[in-house]
């Protein structure tokens, strides 16, 4: 048994910032499946939002965030996000984060979708990676213990109070109990439930599922963002910074790539967002791209459109979008300096997650906190603005760490019953010993197909009902899986099986929540209910585990300043 005051599950930006925030006054450790510098946070390209230009305003950023959320965000959470942004940006800058600069040496900012001012701070197109390196240096400075290549399989909660976790140490093959006063969950999103996604292979929603099984509520899981521009078939992110720097989206309606007149005529976003064009909010741009594709205007009739950067010029591409160029060359054999990029929407960001207050506290479980993409403080609502996700990891990672530390200082360690550890070990052994005829990869592929078709960019009752039936069938078939590797050391087959269980649990919540929400709002768009319905659906969805199965409840949205109005771009 290992003991710490605080355990952070997850080593990405939210987890690192939480650990730094708690480290001054608490014994804290991070448990992470990969080393922090290899976390998915490093894939964030475009930037991080903050009001640091005197021509901009906090109220403008706040309103853009609320409007972007389609009024489903809690406005007190959104206000905290934007008000605390400038301090946090300057803090990580002073810690050493490398930002691109203006000619007068200030942090450079670029336009991003759905925003009324170019307030997205960036470091070329490697912003997440650069912040990640900075926070890793801070982990070393504060001598924070990191258990990397460990997988948490259970959050131990007794009588509504967190006691610690059970974790699998991959290198030794051992399962270890870790006792703690408080636990902070920062494990990222769940994009791997879809066939085409920008998410890393580790983004399987583990922390959300663990918290749910421990007794926490998940909020607004039906709100899943599709990024407009993923590399065709690969799903790899092509930064919104491309459109922020002036990139065009083009569909194939007698398109002549050598004719400036033809190119301007085929910038299809003028039909969908005549004011913002390519810088509309992500939900709108994704739906617009997919509409062009399903109506037969994809390039050469295929499932992609073009993102054209050629007019930006080699100098600016190499200075501000070098990683995008490298990815395009490596994965689709296209040089954006010379040719347009084939793109399609890709499952990208989980707006929902573990329900918390603005301090990262889970109201259902004493001593449990959450931050980052796995959490839902509800600053994004039904659609997140680009540049607000990195900001969320820093602002609410810091807040959750500081508040977990306050909790740990005023509470004593509770007993960690050995029966809890034994029950988890028995569960793992049963899984390993299972001799069924179903494969993890087979069920996962069928799940991804069902979610992509049934709970994708466009949704309706019939296809969602089929998806729900399929998910429940797959959950039954999961009981008959066969893990071929029966060993313990670096058993990736076992980890894959645990990931799949979590994906199946979350997929059902996403699908049922979407089926129940009979309206269109942000990234949740229903063909059979194409309009927003504030009278019936201006409320959060809450999903909870009960002995009888999943239970869904609803909670009002906190509206403090901006009354809902029609959302136009």
State the catalytic residues: 227, 243
Contact 472, 508 (CB under 8 A): yes
180, with CB counted inside 10 A (0-12, 13-18, 19+), is buried
Element containing residue 546 per DSSP (H, E) = strand 539-546
Say whether 321 sits in a helix, a strand or coil. coil
Element containing residue 426 per DSSP (H, E) = helix 418-433
Contact 96, 88 (CB under 8 A): no
Question: Tokens at residue 145, please?
Answer: 């213990």
The DSSP call for residue 40 is G
The DSSP call for residue 78 is H
Going by C-alpha positions, the residue among 493, 546, 565 that lies closest to residue 212 is 546
Beta-strand relationship, 375-376 and 353-355: parallel
- How many other CB atoms are found less than 10 A from the CB of residue 15? 34
Query: Could you please report the per-residue DSSP string of 356-419?
Result: --TTSB-SSSBTEEE-GGGEE-SSSTTSPPTTHHHHHHHHHHHHHHHHHHHHHHHSPPPP--HH
Q: What CA–CA distances, in Å, run from 375 to 14, 127, 156, 165, 188?
A: 10, 21, 19, 18, 8
- In terms of phi and psi (left: phi > 0; alpha: psi -120 to 50; beta: otherwise), the region of 425 is alpha
Query: Could you please report the per-residue DSSP string of 8-24?
Result: EE--SHHHHHHHHHHHT
d(CA 194, CA 196) in angstroms, rounded, equals: 6
Contact 417, 159 (CB under 8 A): no
- How many other CB atoms are found less than 10 A from the CB of residue 333? 8
d(CA 391, CA 14) in angstroms, rounded, equals: 10
Going by C-alpha positions, the residue among 92, 90, 86 that lies closest to residue 138 is 92
d(CA 432, CA 430) in angstroms, rounded, equals: 5
Sheet holding 549-556, edge to edge: 375-376, 353-355, 218-219, 539-546, 549-556
């Amino acid at each position: 048994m290992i003991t710490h005051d605080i355990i952070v599950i997850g080593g990405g930006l939210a987890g690192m910032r939480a650990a730094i925030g708690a480290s001054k006054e608490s014994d804290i450790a991070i448990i992470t499946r990969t080393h922090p510098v290899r976390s998915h946070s490093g894939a964030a390209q475009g930037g991080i939002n903050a009001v640091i230009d005197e021509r901009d305003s906090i109220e403008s950023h706040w309103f853009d965030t609320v409007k972007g959320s389609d009024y489903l965000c809690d406005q007190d959470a959104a206000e905290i996000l934007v008000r605390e942004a400038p301090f946090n940006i300057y803090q990580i800058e002073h810690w050493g984060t490398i930002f691109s600069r203006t000619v007068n040496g200030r942090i450079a900012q670029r336009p991003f979708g759905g925003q009324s001012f170019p307030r997205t701070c960036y470091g070329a197109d490697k912003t997440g990676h650069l912040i990640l390196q900075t926070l890793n240096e801070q982990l070393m400075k504060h001598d924070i213990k990191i258990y990397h290549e460990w997988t948490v399989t259970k959050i131990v909660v007794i009588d509504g109070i967190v006691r610690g976790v059970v974790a699998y140490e991959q290198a030794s093959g051992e399962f270890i109990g870790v006792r703690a006063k408080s636990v902070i969950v920062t494990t990222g999103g769940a994009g791997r439930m879809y066939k085409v996604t920008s998410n890393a292979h580790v983004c399987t929603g583990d922390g959300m599922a663990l918290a749910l099984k421990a007794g926490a509520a998940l909020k607004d899981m039906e709100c899943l963002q599709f990024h407009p521009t993923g590399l065709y078939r690969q799903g790899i992110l092509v930064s919104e910074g491309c459109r922020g720097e002036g990139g065009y989206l083009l569909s194939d309606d007698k398109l002549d790539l050598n004719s400036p007149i033809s190119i301007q005529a085929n910038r299809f976003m003028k039909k969908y967002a005549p004011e913002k064009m390519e810088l509309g909010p992500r939900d709108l741009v994704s739906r617009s791209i997919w509409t062009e594709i399903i109506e037969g205007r994809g390039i050469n009739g295929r499932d992609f459109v073009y993102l054209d950067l050629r007019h930006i010029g080699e100098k600016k591409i190499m200075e501000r979008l070098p990683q995008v160029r490298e990815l395009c060359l490596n994965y689709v054999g296209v040089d954006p300096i010379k040719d347009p990029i084939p793109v399609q929407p890709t499952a990208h960001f989980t707006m929902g997650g573990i329900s918390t207050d603005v301090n990262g506290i889970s109201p259902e479980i004493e001593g449990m906190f959450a931050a980052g993409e796995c959490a839902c403080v509800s600053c994004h609502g039904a659609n997140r603005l680009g540049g607000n996700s990195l900001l969320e990891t820093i602002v609410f990672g810091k807040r959750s760490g500081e508040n977990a530390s306050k909790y740990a200082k005023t509470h004593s360690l509770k007993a960690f019953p050995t029966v809890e550890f034994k029950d988890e070990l028995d569960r793992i052994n049963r899984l390993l010993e299972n001799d069924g005829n179903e494969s993890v990869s087979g069920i996962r592929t069928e799940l991804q197909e069902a979610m992509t078709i049934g709970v994708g960019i466009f949704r309706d009752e019939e296809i969602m009902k089929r998806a729900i039936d399929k998910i429940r069938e797959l959950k039954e078939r999961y009981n008959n899986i066969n893990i071929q590797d029966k060993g313990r050391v670096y058993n990736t087959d076992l980890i894959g099986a645990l990931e799949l269980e979590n994906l199946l649990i979350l997929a059902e919540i996403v699908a049922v929540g979407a089926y129940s929400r009979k309206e269109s709002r942000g990234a949740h768009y229903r063909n059979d209910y194409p309009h927003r319905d504030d009278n019936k659906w201006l409320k959060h969805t809450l999903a909870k585990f009960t002995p009888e199965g999943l239970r869904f409840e609803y909670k009002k949205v906190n509206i403090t300043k901006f009354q809902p109005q029609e959302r136009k771009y």
